[in-house]
Chain A
Amino acid sequence: MSESYVTPPIRRSLLADGAVRLIRGITRGRHALRGQTVLKVGVVIVFAFLLMTALTQAWPAITGFHPTQYRDATRLEPPTTTHWMGTDQLQRDVFSRILGGGYASLVVAFAAVAMSMIAGSVLGWISGYTGGWLDRGLSLTMDAIYSFPSMILAIVLVAMFGSGIGPMIWAVGFVYIPTYFRVTRAEALQVRETTYVEAIKAVGAGRTRIILRHVAPNTVNAIMAVSSFNLADAILTVAALSFLGFGLPPPAPDWGFDIQNGQKYLQSGSWWMITFPGLMIITLSLGFGLIGEGISDLLNPRRRRKHV
């Protein structure tokens, strides 16, 4: 035998650990993806929107018409071969505007969901694992926020913070914290009672270590499923906030705001200014929703037939 026993590097970072798990999960999960049409369609939709938004951010006039510049065209022109989706009251091309109009929705939805996911999950882990008065207090507070209509809460918050991307992220992010709290707390409560947690406690592991290495990873599946449905909902909330005038300042293209703008010309029958941005919102929200469906099916095969 050699003279020394080489200790392996035990302190792998959490991040590296997570990355390894993710890659392993993807490669192992390939065969499970067979037949997951719903999930695939959702992923394709979301990627198409991300690509489209990135392209229009780099080249706003990708269609040949600039979304914010007035054109030498008729105002309020119905869809034609030149302007596929018509023009608005400032002679701008509606098609160019809807291609770039998802920027705020995507940025706010992703940032807000990330924020509420982190805040809600951390609180949920701690609350569920620790228990006691802290758990009771937090649960009651979260339930109280959860019971209140999230749309109204988001509107009031954004009205307090001001309008634009930053305030919308804070408002929407705050509203969804209880969603993650409830999911992670429930899982943490179960993990706390397991034998392996008891075992590692006996070995002398600290609370932080147990929460991070044992409680948290067990809640990842639930968080994943919730977050895609949450993104679908966030897209609608952001659209509603922009529709009410809390979104990007004009003349930036923005679906919700463009619909509000089109509302003024509704009586004259200018349906195209409202219809097309709305269809974009539906498609994107549907994309996230389908991903959520797919993930839930993957995680719970028993569910597959029932499609709850």
Chain B
Amino acid sequence: MSGLMRYALQRLLLTIPMVFILLTVIFLVLRVMPGDPVSAMLGGRPVPPEVLQSYRVKMGFDKSLPVQYATYLGGILRGDFGSSTRTSTPVLEELLSRFPATIELALFGLLVAGILGFSTGILAATRADRPVDHGIRIFHIASFAMPLFWLGLMFQVFFAVKLKWLPVAGRLGGQMAFSFEPITGFYMLDAILRWDGKALADIARHLALPSLTLGIALTGLLGRVSRASMLEVLDQDYITTARAKGLSERIVVLRHALRNALIPIVTIFGLQFAALMGGAVLTETVFSWPGIASYLMRAISARDYPAIQGSVVFIALFISLINLIVDLFYSTIDPRVRY
């Protein structure tokens, strides 16, 4: 077995207790914390105790905690996330059908953050302590301090309401929402597969503001790491050597410094997926984006207990998977990493 394979297997085995603990924490938070889920589900209205009891039996809350825990874990292992009390459809089915929308948004958000953060960070590093650098650093810090939902709303006010360049919300506009038939659920991909230029343009226009919002919120961190990493590399002796040889600054930065500066940037990039999912909740709410985060929000406002739990477990599993992939990806970026 090769080193990478062995490491992958080891890492996979380590993921199991991690996921297990996360599932347990979720269970404890949702079941043991104050507040009765059944009366919460019924909206806190005065309900006859018999009715309350019948709901409790139906949802399995009359059993002891260990039994509930075992049922919960058993269900997840079998891929059974329960059924929504609001729509009575299986939660997992609903989540899977909405998942592509969230991923599409997250990927484009990551793309925006990557391009903006990386380019501004490198630019600031090569112009360290000059006005450009100061300006970019203020932009990075401001991007940290900005409430994401507010940024989204400001974009809506400016680009959608005032200038009317882009749609306010949703994934598809007007007629298109009825005529377009998705294949994979990733609309950009679907439009290309169907060779439908009009749909592609409409999808891109709808995707622009949400992904820009999500992306800018993450730009600050990426930009700062890029700047710091680049500065670190530019301080190295081999860069001085390259300059002393008479190479142009362009070649020094692009050919010699960039590759080594990339390693920490990629690390941070991968770790942003959790923040991205958190940001997606707000972005999806602001832009009425039909993803899993907006499903979770609707489940919360309807006190749809199985749906809340299912969404949280789903997100937890997904994040664990992403972290595993990112970890394995390092070796291809940094040849010094050997497993």
Contact = CB atoms under 8 A, between A and B. Distances in A.
A162 B323 CA distance: 32
B38 interface: no
Interface in B255-282: 274-275, 277-279, 281-282
Given A152-B277, A286-B142, A140 B18 contact: yes
Contacts of B108: none
B315 A152 contact: yes
Contacts of B333: none
Interface string B305-318: 00010001001100
A127 interface: no
B320 interface: yes
Interface string A263-275: 1001101010011
Interface stretch (A8-16, A75-83, A143-151, A181-189): A143-151
Contacts of B147: 236, 239-240, 243, 256, 259, 278, 281-282, 285
Interface string B272-300: 00110111011001100000010011001
> What's the interface size class on B, roughly?
35 or more
Contact of A149 (B154, B227, B274): B274
B22 A240 contact: no
B22 A282 contact: no
Interface in A127-176: 140-141, 143-145, 147-152, 155-157, 159-162
A147 to B, nearest CB: 6
B35 interface: yes
Interface stretch (B25-33, B72-80, B186-194, B196-204): B25-33
Nearest to B296: A152
A120 interface: no
A161 B168 contact: no
B315 A144 contact: no
A144 B315 CA distance: 12
B154 A278 contact: yes
Contact of B25 (A145, A239, A262, A274): A145
B144 interface: yes
Nearest to B20: A144
Contact of B145 (A148, A161, A232, A243): A232
Contact of B146 (A143, A145, A152, A282): A282
Contacts of B149: 240, 243, 259
- What is the interface of chain B mostly: helix, strand, loop, or mixed? helix
B21 interface: yes
B278 A151 contact: yes
Contact of B282 (A232, A240, A293, A307): A240
Interface in A265-306: 266-267, 269, 271, 274-275, 277-278, 281-283, 285-286, 289-290, 293, 305-306
Nearest to A275: B154
A308 interface: yes
A161 B178 CA distance: 40
Given A148-B315, A289-B145, A308-B224, A160 B278 contact: no
Interface stretch (B2-10, B81-89, B155-163, B243-251): B155-163
Given A151-B278, A156-B308, A263 B293 contact: no
B150 A147 contact: no
Interface in B127-164: 128-129, 137, 141-142, 144-150, 153-154, 156-157, 161-162
Contact of B168 (A156, A240, A267): A267
B34 to A, nearest CB: 7
Q: Which of A141, A156, A281 has the most CB of B within 10 A?
A: A156
Contacts of B29: 156-157, 160
A149 B150 contact: no
B110 interface: no
Q: Which of A162, A243, A269, A289 has the most CB of B within 10 A?
A: A243
Contacts of A155: 281, 296-297, 300
B308 A159 contact: yes
Contacts of B156: 266
Contact of B274 (A148, A306, A308): A148
Contacts of A44: none
A151 to B, nearest CB: 3
B66 interface: no
Contacts of A256: 147
A244 interface: yes
A113 B104 CA distance: 34
Contacts of A240: 147-149, 282
A307 B137 contact: yes
A216 B285 CA distance: 42
A69 B75 CA distance: 52
B150 to A, nearest CB: 4
Nearest to B33: A160
B35 A244 contact: no
A131 B54 CA distance: 47
22 contacts: A140-B17, A147-B319, A149-B275, A150-B274, A155-B296, A156-B29, A156-B308, A159-B300, A160-B29, A162-B35, A232-B145, A236-B145, A239-B147, A240-B282, A243-B147, A244-B285, A271-B157, A274-B157, A285-B145, A286-B141, A305-B231, A306-B227
Interface of B: 17-19, 21-22, 25, 29-30, 33-35, 40, 128-129, 137, 141-142, 144-150, 153-154, 156-157, 161-162, 168, 224-225, 227-228, 231-232, 274-275, 277-279, 281-282, 285-286, 293, 296-297, 300-301, 308, 312, 315-316, 319-320, 323
